[in-house]
Structure 1
C-alpha cells in the first residue's frame, strides 16, 4: 500500500471557458469542485488504477466533511486530520484549447501539534504500507525541516520515500536520503541553487546533482521533452513521440503515482536499464493520460493502455 501525504491540500475549483480575455467578464461553461492538493491527486490516480492507497492531510475543520464526502465518492481511502486553519482554495480556468490558468492561494501555516498528529497518522498506517509519498507546496511559515523529518520517519518505519516537493524543503530533505525525488526542471534548478550551485545545469545534469546531494534516484520532468532519470549507472530519457493537448495540471501527480507503484510492487527502486525503462514507460503513459482529463487526479486506464506502447526510451550520457 502507498501512503500519500499532502502538506498543503486545497479545495480545487475548475472553471471551463471558451477562452480567457484579460479584463473581461467570462461566462463559465462548467464548474467542478473536488478535494485537491497534489498528494490527494496521487491517491486518486492510484485508486483509479487499482493500487491500494490512503491519503493523509490536515483539513480545515469546516471543510472536513466536504473533503471526506468527495474522497469517499471517488472511493479514495483517506485519513483527514482536522485543523483550526482554513483550507486554501485553488482555481483552475481551463480554455477550450486546453490552456490552463491557475490561481493558488498560499494556505495557512499549521501548528506543531497538527504536524505531530499527521506524523502519528502516518505511523499508524505504516504497518500495512511500503511506500510514502510527499507531494506539493507548503503553507507560508512551515518548518523547512518538515520534509526531512517526514523522510526520516518514513525510513524508520521501513517505508520507501518518494518526494515531489521543491525549494528549501527538498534541499534540506536530500540529507535524509529520500529514495526518489521528482522535481520538474525549474524546481530542480531552484533546489540546486539552494545547495550552493550557482550554475543551472542541463536536465540530466540536474538529475545527477540531486543524486549526488543525497537522493538514491532522481526523475526530472521537462515538459514536452519528457522525463530524465538518473539512478546509479542508469541514465534514461522517456517521452512521447508527439505532445498532447489538454490540461497538464495533474500530469506530475499521475507520474508520482506511477513511480510509487513501481516501488510498492518491487519493494525497492527498479534495478538496471530494462526495469527502469519499463517504469518510465508507465510513468509517461500515466502522466500523459492525466493531460487528457479535465481535472487533476483523474486518468482513464484505456488511455494508459493506448499510450504505453508509444513511449520512447533513450539512453543519455552519465
Structure 2
C-alpha cells in the first residue's frame, strides 16, 4: 500500500479559454474538476500505475464531501480527517497557446483538536503502508515543522517516505531526513543558501543535501528531466522533446512514479526512467495528474539516462 498525505486538499478546476485578457469577461470553453492538492494528484497517478493507494489528509464541508465523491468515482480509497471549514478551490486557466495561470486559495484554518485527530489517524495508517508520500502546502494554523513530525513518525516504524514541498516546510522537513525529496533548482539554492549557476554547482548542491541523510535527492529540471543523487551514483534522466498540452501535475506525477518504483523494488535507474516517462506523459493530457498508458510506454524507451 502506498499512502499519500495531502493536508491542504482542494477542488482543482481547469478552465480552457481562447486568451486571458485583463479586465474583460472570459468565456470558458471547457471546464474540468478533479480532487486536488498535490498529494491527491500523486494518488491519482499511483492508481493509474496499477498500485494500491490510500489518500489521507484534511477535508471539510460540502466541498470536502464533493472531493470524496470524486475520489469514489476514480476508485481511490481515502481516510480523511474532517474539519469545520470548507475545502478550498484552486483554478488553473489555460489558453489556446498553452499558457497556464493558476489561482490557489490558501486553505481554511485547522484547529489543534483537528490536527490531533489526524495525527492519531496517521499513526495507524503508517502500519498498513509500505511507502508514504507527503506533498504540498498546509492550511492556516499548521506549524511549519508538521512535515518533520510526520516524517519522523514514518521513519520510526521503518517505512519509506517521500517529501515534496517547498519553503519553510521543506527546510524544516529535511531535518527529519526523509527517504527522498524532489526539490527544483531554486529550492536547492534556498535550502543551502547558495547560488547555482551551472551543472556542477547543481550536482554539488544536491550531493550536500543527500549527505545530510536523505537517501535519494531528485532535482526536477522541467523539460530537462531530473537529476538524481544517491550515496552510490549520480544520474541525469531526460525525456524526449514533446509538445505539452498541460504541464500542471507533472511534478506530482514524477513523485507518484518514484513511489511506485520504490514499492516495486526497481533499481534507481529504472525508477528514474519510469518517473520521467510518467511525468512527460502527464503533460500530454488536459487532466491534472493523469496520463495515458500508451503515451507512457512510447516515451519510456525514449528517455535517456546518463550516469556520472
Which band: TM-score by shorter chain?
A: over 0.9
Q: Give the equivalent residue in structure 2 for 1:315.
A: 307
Kindly provide the CA deviation profile for residues 92-146 of structure 1, in whole angstroms up to 9, marking residues without a partner as x. 0112222211011111231222222222222222333101100011234421110
Conserved in 2, the CA contact under 8 Å of 1:97 and 1:245?
no
1:95 aligns with 2:91: no
Q: Give the equivalent residue in structure 1 for 2:274.
A: 282
Point out 4+ residue stretches in structure 1 off by more than 4 angstroms.
Answer: none
Q: How does 1:150-299 map to 2 (within 5 A)?
A: 150-192=150-192, 197-200=193-196, 202-266=201-265, 275-299=267-291
Provide the rounded CA distance (Å) in 1 between the counterparts of 2:177 and 2:273. 25
SS at match of 1:129: coil
SS at match of 1:310: coil
Q: Which moved more, 1:234-243 or 1:253-262?
A: 234-243
CA displacement at 1:188 relative to structure 2: 2.5
Provide the rounded CA distance (Å) in 2 between the counterparts of 1:141 and 1:199. 32
Conserved in 1, the CA contact under 8 Å of 2:53 and 2:77?
yes
Kindly provide the CA deviation profile for residues 68-99 of structure 1, in whole angstroms up to 9, marking residues without a partner as x. 11000011111121101322210001122222
Unaligned runs of 5+ in 2: none
Unaligned runs of 5+ in 1: none
Tell me the number of residue pairs that the alignment of Structure 1 and Structure 2 aligns: 305
User: Cα 1:189–1:244, aligned 2, differ >3 Å: closer, same or farther?
Assistant: farther
Q: Give the equivalent residue in structure 2 for 1:68.
A: 68
SS at match of 1:25: coil
Conserved in 2, the CA contact under 8 Å of 1:60 and 1:82?
yes
Q: CA RMSD in A?
A: 1.6
Provide the rounded CA distance (Å) in 2 between the counterparts of 1:118 and 1:137. 16
Q: Which moved more, 1:135-144 or 1:82-91?
A: 135-144
Q: Taking structure 1 as the reference length, what is the TM-score of the superposition? A: 0.91
SS at match of 1:93: strand
Provide the rounded CA distance (Å) in 1 between the counterparts of 2:109 and 2:92. 23
Provide the rounded CA distance (Å) in 2 between the counterparts of 1:234 and 1:306. 27
SS at match of 1:248: coil
CA displacement at 1:243 relative to structure 2: 4.1
Conserved in 2, the CA contact under 8 Å of 1:61 and 1:83?
yes
CA displacement at 1:49 relative to structure 2: 1.6
Q: Give the equivalent residue in structure 1 for 2:3.
A: 3
CA displacement at 1:261 relative to structure 2: 0.9
SS at match of 2:62: coil
User: Cα 1:186–1:141, aligned 2, differ >3 Å: closer, same or farther?
Assistant: farther
CA displacement at 1:216 relative to structure 2: 1.6
SS at match of 1:23: coil
Conserved in 1, the CA contact under 8 Å of 2:12 and 2:36?
yes
Q: Give the equivalent residue in structure 2 for 1:125.
A: 125
Conserved in 2, the CA contact under 8 Å of 1:130 and 1:158?
no
Q: Give the equivalent residue in structure 2 for 1:136.
A: 136
SS at match of 2:68: helix
